């Protein structure tokens, strides 16, 4: 099982993104169950926040359209709830003293994945998750998905 990071979803719907085709193909493969992938609710909410923010995307979606995209993603992807054990995982990461400031959100995402038994994350920002014990980080290109197959 692979946890998809927010940027994979954002790039999949944002035609201006350099990895648009590849990320779109990843989502399509996950929907067809050719790729065993999941998201956590945090990823869906971050997706909504990014695609509706004109400071982050050139052509933001209006909130209603963005939520419709969330519903499409939610229907096609497995959404996992790691439960309260994720807080224990986060506490273990935080007590190592290597996480500060806004880095807590990536650490929280990693903790949720690990608590849900997911040891791999697919992201376009591999450095954000580097060095997290028990987590394997893969960029979209490493998953060998044909961008023309969506």
- Percentage of the chain surpassing pLDDT 70? 97
pLDDT over 90 at 96, yes or no: no
Phi, psi dihedral angles at 136 (to 5 degrees) = -95, 130
110: left (phi over 0), alpha (psi -120 to 50) or beta: alpha
What's the pLDDT tens digit per position in 13-34?
A: 999 888 999 999 999 999 999 9
C-alpha distance across the termini of the chain, in Å: 20
Strand extents, DSSP E, 2-142: 2-4, 37-39, 78-79, 120-122, 136-138
> Would you place residue 102 in the very low, low, confident or very high pLDDT band (cuts 50, 70, 90)?
confident
Pairwise pLDDT comparison (46 vs 149), residue with the higher score: 46
Domain boundaries, the chain: 2-141
* Predicted pLDDT at 139: 95
Q: What is the mean pLDDT of residues 71-95?
A: 94
pTM of the model: 0.93
Res 121 pLDDT > 90? yes
- Fold of the domain spanning 2-141: Rossmann fold (3.40.50)
Strands 37-39 and 136-138: unpaired
Is the pLDDT confidence value at 80 over 80?
yes
Residue 150, pLDDT > 60, answer: no
């Amino acid at each position: 099982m692979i946890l998809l990071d927010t940027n994979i979803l954002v790039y999949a719907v944002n035609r201006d993104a350099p990895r648009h085709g590849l990320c779109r193909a990843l989502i399509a493969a996950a929907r067809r169950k050719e790729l065993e992938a999941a998201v956590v609710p945090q990823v869906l909410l971050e997706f909504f926040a990014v695609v509706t923010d004109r400071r982050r995307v050139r052509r933001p979606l209006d909130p209603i359209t963005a939520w419709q995209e969330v519903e499409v993603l939610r229907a096609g992807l497995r959404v996992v709830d790691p439960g309260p054990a994720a807080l224990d995982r986060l506490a273990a990461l935080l007590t190592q003293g290597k996480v500060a400031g806004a880095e807590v959100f990536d650490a929280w995402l990693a903790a949720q994945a690990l608590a849900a038994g997911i040891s791999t994350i697919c992201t376009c920002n591999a450095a954000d998750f580097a060095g997290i014990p028990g987590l394997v980080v893969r960029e979209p290109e490493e998953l060998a998905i044909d961008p023309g197959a969506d």
